[in-house]
Amino acid sequence: MAEIQRKYRKQKLSDLIVDEVKSMIVAEELLPGDRLPNEKDLIDQFGCSKGTVREALKALEVEGLVYTRPGPGGGAYLSEVGTEPASKMLRNYLYFNHLSAEQIYQMRKLIEVELAVSVVGKLTQADFELLEAHTNSCATPPESEDQQRSQRIAELEFHNVLSDACPNPLLSFMGRFLNEALRDLVVLKKSYQIDAYQFTQSNVDYHERLLDAYRAEDEAQVRRLMGEHMCEAEAHFVALDGKISKKM
């Protein structure tokens, strides 16, 4: 322990405990719900005070990695961090960098294609039903501003279904993050207030053809269609974003 303390002499001991717990999660392949060593064991392991251990556990709790359970059989337990809190924090950071539609699509044209291909042959019947429902909800012209908003969101939810089915957790997170960044532009800038059903029709067409390609498990067709879809969507969305920016 003394050797570790010397190595990390510029690091707070509570931060070292946080790092060690994270190393334990990775090295021992711990799972949500697994219990951490109790407070006394951590004190003995790190040769520190009760206050230091509690400070470390509180930091882990703030990060969403740990929750505490009081009473007999209580203690600190591992908690899986959901994608939404992580995505929300990153999007909050980008608000002050004035992220543009062009910048989002610069990434989306790369991520969405690889993500789309990664789920060929992996979609369940429930996935297909969701994809069809989101597509069908956009198949007719909207009759109100609320319906226009719902259709904008449904177009992105189609892609979130693919993200959730992706076997690569990093690719899955990046796909969902980019979709949510676009959703923020739609909702916060109220771009749904501008009638853009031509954009919706283009999305519906590509989504229907993608569904056919997925059913046929045609990887080459999925790659081609998603690449074309992203380029077409970029042109429409950038033009729409320009109109709403002028309005604002």
Q: Which tokens is 100 given?
A: 């543009």
Closest C-alpha among 195, 176, 174 to residue 239: 195
Q: What is the pLDDT of residues 141-183, one digit of tens each?
A: 888 888 888 898 999 999 999 999 999 999 999 999 999 888 8
Helix or strand (DSSP H, E) at 68: strand 66-69
pLDDT of residue 226: 98
- Tell me the pLDDT band of 207, cut-offs 50, 70 and 90: very high
The Cα diameter of the chain in Å comes to 70
Has this prediction a pTM greater than 0.85? no
What confidence score (pLDDT) does residue 40 get?
Answer: 87
In this predicted structure, the answer to whether residue 124 has a pLDDT above a threshold of 50 is: yes
pLDDT at residue 130, rounded to an integer:
98
